[in-house]
Amino acid sequence: MKMTDKYCPKGEIKKLEVEMWNLKVKGTDVVSYNQRFQELALMCARMFPEESDKIERYVGGLPDMIHKSVMASKSKTMHDAIEFASELMDKKIHIFAE
């Protein structure tokens, strides 16, 4: 028995899964997105049988300005995808600020 089954009623898990599918970066706040994504990914583990499924969902929530680049990087792990997206977003924000 998984911990989520014990502590999370089915209805709650459904709500979290819906949030997961609709999760997107708000503005340029990749940091908050990363945090929430990882929290949800832990609770909705059954949505992602493979790491690649999770990465695909993660990249899907990124803003257009970095989405294609992160996709093109073909990250093999969640960690790499998050790191790459965060660095890219920092660069973009830095460029906008100049």
pLDDT, averaged per 10 consecutive residues of the chain (98 residues), comes to: 61 91 95 96 91 96 96 96 96 85
Q: Among positive and negative, which fits the CA dihedral 7, 9, 10, 16?
A: negative
> What DSSP string runs through 82-98?
HHHHHHHHHHHHHHHH-
Neighbours of 44 (CB within 10 A): 21
The predicted model scores a pTM of 0.87
pLDDT tens profile 31-56: 999 999 999 999 898 899 999 999 99
- Give the Cα separation of 34 and 5 in Å (integer): 24
